[in-house]
Amino acid sequence: MEIRLIILRIAFGLIFLLLIVRLGYLQLHQSGRYIMQADKNRVKIVEEDPVRGLILDRRGRILVENRPCYTIVGNTSHLNRDRTSLELLQSISGGNEISQWETVLEKAKGSLREVRLKRDVDFALIAAVEERRLSLTGIEIKVEAKRFYPVKTASHLLGYLGEITQTELSAYQDFKAGDIVGKQGIEKAYNNFLWGARGYHFEEVDAYGNPVRIIGGMKSVQPANGADIYLTIDLDLQLLAEQLLEGKSGAVVAVDPANGGVLAMASSPRYDPEVFAGVLESSDWKALIEDPDKPLLDRTMQGVYPPGSLLKMAVLAGGLEENLVDINTQVHCPGFKQLGRRTFKCWREGGHGKIKTLQALEQSCDVYFYELSLKMGINKMAEYIRKFGLGQITGIDIEGESSGLVPDSAYMNRRYGPGQWTRGHLLNIAIGQGEMLATPLQMAVYCAALANRGLIPQPHLLKGVLYHNPHFWEPYQPEFKKIEGVSPETFELLLQGMHLVVKGDRGTAHWLNDPKIDAAGKTGTAQNPHGEDHAWFIGFAPFDNPVIAVCVIVEHGEHGSTAAAPIVFEIIRKHLLEEYIQSAEKTTKPLG
């Protein structure tokens, strides 16, 4: 009996000894680990999103800024364990979103500490949530930035924001699920500049994950606000372009030939950018995508049209360089060209009679170019048209640009089959009809290249980036491409013809001649199988030292000289006046 007691005492003694050793090990050797674990449960790292940068026009006028808005967020760890708060939140908000929230929370499990449940909520809901704060465990209210548009303009080129998708996570650096990023336009192209860098601070939380206080003494990092993006767009010119397109379908693109900066880029009809600033309602989205006028389509660079007679300078350049015609070449235009059993009409009923090269551009004689196309052939025409940058994207610094189409024999064989297309197709292509397609942006750059006597500017919307930390300015560096194989003499002849379009007595836009503006241009009409023809005009000014090149298309406008040309001249006139005022302000010294 005594031996058993001794054994039991020894056993209990060993057990107590082991417990003391274990407690000592945990308290002395492992204390740091458990203190860290306790702090991890007690302390929450709260990330702070930076303030998104502004978007401004070339003169520093704000196009896009930020306004505060309220967002309801949920703690993923707590709400995935207990959905009671979600049920109460749904009851308070009067919606039916709990299944949607549960899906979001389930996807975020293990990867995110919190998710956005409702964005851009009104003050009444915020007050109701605050009133039930103790019951809504795992639910918080955050103040975030929402895009605001002081002037509702340029919606297509500015773009909009939205929550990042799984696909975009791999494309964007340093972003996570739930972040708001650029989806289109400038907002997308320069998202990383506009975003800035995230910061963080430390908060003490209770057992339910609700914040108690901000912890001082722990090293926090302030968010670095995004850089401001300055565009080449001139707000006054942009507003004028949109005003002149009001009630029409079409596009205006104005470019500075000296550096490729886009001065105005208007597509009509347009949409209200505020629609995408907050939470996009499904009804609003449905209305936009089902609108027969297609307001979401950016006609400036996504709309493709036959360029009509605007193409004649590129075709004539090929004829001159290949010695197929010269300045004295004369063609008789009876008002049509007979090719086999088909009759190809000139736009002028009754014809132009005997007409030479310069007058063929001035009066836009189709028959002259019918004859030239038969001499050149489709591949030689395509070669020279492509030299001017057509049939390929311009490389503008926002996504979504269409390349247009320059048909050659390979394309025609693919479309119609070898031997299944005829010389009649050449006649249509020579006057910018048939399979030939281009965007208004391409034609504006084409006009700038002509104004530059063969130097193609790469169009861009970025003027420069203003960084805030550290504070410095980084300007955009213009890029150019020289048109090879077209001589200065050829360019001078092409430009003389464009000059006569406006200044000549028989020019197709002579009635718009303004003695105060030395402009050149070209009218065009694009055939439209679905209704009235589309109206084109390109123009630049001043003739000897161009500061602006403009392209306008008016869908169903019928005649370039009456529907599109007046818009071009209004924009040129406005810009030249602004340039004069700016120049005068720079040279005028203050008195005293």
Q: How far is CA 11 from CA 2, 8, 443, in A?
A: 14, 5, 96
Give the CA-trace dihedral at 185, 188, 193, 195, to 10 degrees. 120
Give the active site residue among 267, 309, 364, 561: 309
Determine which helix (DSSP H) or strand (DSSP E) holds 23, and give its type and residue range.
helix 2-24
CA angle 171, 177, 179 (to 5 degrees): 85
Q: Is 33 exposed, middle or buried (0-12, 13-18, 19+ CB in 10 A)?
A: exposed
Q: Name the nearest CA neighbour of 504 among 381, 360, 338.
A: 360
Please tell me the number of Cα atoms within 13 Å of 306 on its side-chain side. 22
| Whole-angstrom distance, CA of residue 265 vs CA of residue 396 | 12
Return all residues near 89 (Cβ < 8 A) that are at least 6 apart.
72, 117, 129, 136, 139
| Whole-angstrom distance, CA of residue 549 vs CA of residue 237 | 13
CB count in 10 Å sphere of residue 212: 11
| Whole-angstrom distance, CA of residue 392 vs CA of residue 441 | 11
Q: How far is CA 399 from CA 162, 337, 377, in A?
A: 16, 42, 34
Q: Could you say which DSSP state residue 305 is in?
A: B
Contact between 493 and 357 (Cβ < 8 Å): yes
Please confirm, yes or no, whether 309 is among the known catalytic residues: yes
Q: How far is CA 211 from CA 86, 133, 220, 284, 417, in A?
A: 18, 11, 16, 37, 72
Contact between 237 and 264 (Cβ < 8 Å): yes
Phi and psi of 530, rounded to 5°? -105, 10
CB count in 10 Å sphere of residue 133: 12
Q: Name the nearest CA neighbour of 62 among 53, 70, 71.
A: 53
CA angle 292, 281, 108 (to 5 degrees): 130
Q: Is 343 helix (H, G, I), strand (E, B) or coil?
A: strand
Terminus-to-terminus CA distance in the chain, angstroms? 119
Task: Kindly give the pairing relationship between strand 250-255 and strand 262-268.
Answer: antiparallel
Q: Name the nearest CA neighbour of 522 among 537, 542, 534, 504.
A: 537
Catalytically active residues, by annotation: 309
